[in-house]
Amino acid sequence: MSHFWNRLPRPMKALAPMENVTDTVFRRLIAACGAPDVFFTEFTNVDWMFTNKKLRARSVHRLEYTEAERPLVVQVWGSEPENYFKAAQEMQERGFDGIDINMGCPAPKIRRKLSCSGLIRDPQLAGEIIQATKEGAGPLPVSVKTRLGLDKVITEEWCGFLLEQDLDVLIVHGRIASEMSRFPADWEELGKVVKLRDQLSPRTLVLGNGDVQSLEEIDEKHQRYGVDGVMVGRGIFQDPYLFHPVHRLDRLNEQDKIELLWSHTSLFSQVWGDRKDFNILKKFYKIFTTDFEGHLELREALMKQKDPEGVWEVLRGHQYDVMEEGLPLEKLQELPSLQP
């Protein structure tokens, strides 16, 4: 079938969905530093969207995006097939490029219910959810992001079942849900998923996920385990330029790191204003305040701030030369210290 996934180069490089990280602001920043082949939204609860106006109003900020973030897959979660159907129809209208069903989130509160990784316990419901989503999605490709099992590795049983659901894409994080992220991801098992795919559903693309930190590792996983693509999550915190073919964060000098930090802060403030908690930004400050004299002291001062104005004052107080409105995003690949 013709959908955007089939047109991506191999190995496909995806930026993982991450709650309170991969919103439209962060995706725009990463698109400007060096875009992956596909972006994912944070997860949106379909049951909230269709049962309660207040909860819906609290969720829809997750669905904001710009053209710079394409192709963009919207990730959804919940328990009711009927709500997945309605959500998939709405996601088509909202112009997303694909829909992904979260069957992997391990949060104990969530997995005790029949949603996210909790669905591993109830393949029948998981199947109904996939079917309902496909019916609502029309021509949009449907994927599932999951893990190797709930309390034990059941790759053949669970991924085999998912591969019988005629999915466009299956994304597997190489861990079980109860492990959270305590042990290394098991890529040997992800290699088994590829073999299962070859037998059961050759048209389904398989992406592996877990502990990958660089383009070289993406190539290595593709070669070694046969996955069509690799999804990268926490690696982006090591380097926002991770998907760029040559640029790397460690080439940035102090001034340019601060330009990046302030551009992010300023865009966050322009897009979200008071709609999102400013403190969400603080986890990103660690990315940019590394490897220069006084970086820890600067980080500490930034962490104490309560709003972008406070951050601006700290940066000015440290004599950094930054524009108040932030550097335009298209300049992020042209920072002086990135030039050869």
Ligand X SMILES: Cc1cc2nc3c(=O)[nH]c(=O)nc-3n(C[C@H](O)[C@H](O)[C@H](O)COP(=O)(O)O)c2cc1C
Return the number of the residue (19 or 156) whose C-beta is nearest ligand X. 19
Q: How far is the CB of 122 from ligand X (least distance, A)?
A: 18
User: What token pair was written down for 241?
Assistant: 């330029």
Residues with Cβ within 8 Å of residue 335, at least 6 apart in sequence: 252, 256, 259, 260
The answer to whether the CB of 167 falls within 8 A of the CB of 130 is yes
Q: How far is the CB of 38 from ligand X (least distance, A)?
A: 13
DSSP H or E run through 217: helix 215-225
The answer to whether the CB of 149 falls within 8 A of the CB of 159 is no
User: What token pair was written down for 126?
Assistant: 């998981």
Which strands sit side by side in the sheet containing 205-209, from one edge to the other?
12-15, 229-232, 205-209, 169-176, 142-149, 98-103, 72-77, 39-45
> Nearest to ligand X by Cβ — which residue?
233
Return the number of the residue (104 or 240) whose C-beta is nearest ligand X. 104
User: What token pair was written down for 18?
Assistant: 């991450």
Which of these, 261, 250, 212, lies nearest to 232 by C-alpha position? Answer: 212
Return the number of the residue (19 or 325) whose C-beta is nearest ligand X. 19
State how far Cα 255 lies from the chain centre. 28
Residues in touch with ligand X (CB under 6 A): 16-19, 21, 42-43, 75, 102, 104-105, 145, 173, 209-212, 232-235
Return the number of the residue (194 or 280) whose C-beta is nearest ligand X. 280
DSSP labels for 273-340?
TTSS-GGGGHHHHHHHS-SSTTHHHHHHHHHT-SSHHHHHHHHHHTT----TT---GGGTT--GGG--
Q: How far is the CB of 168 from ligand X (least distance, A)?
A: 17
Q: How far is the CB of 276 from ligand X (least distance, A)?
A: 15
Return the number of the residue (132 or 236) whose C-beta is nearest ligand X. 236
DSSP labels for 97-136?
SEEEEEE----HHHHTTTSGGGGGG-HHHHHHHHHHHHHH
Return the number of the residue (16 or 252) whose C-beta is nearest ligand X. 16
Look-up of token digits 């030039």 = 339
Q: How far is the CB of 106 from ligand X (least distance, A)?
A: 9
Q: How far is the CB of 43 from ligand X (least distance, A)?
A: 4
Active site residue 105: yes
User: Annotated catalytic residue: which of 33, 105, 116, 159?
Assistant: 105
The answer to whether the CB of 192 falls within 8 A of the CB of 155 is yes
d(CA 122, CA 139): 27
**Catalytic amino acids?**
105
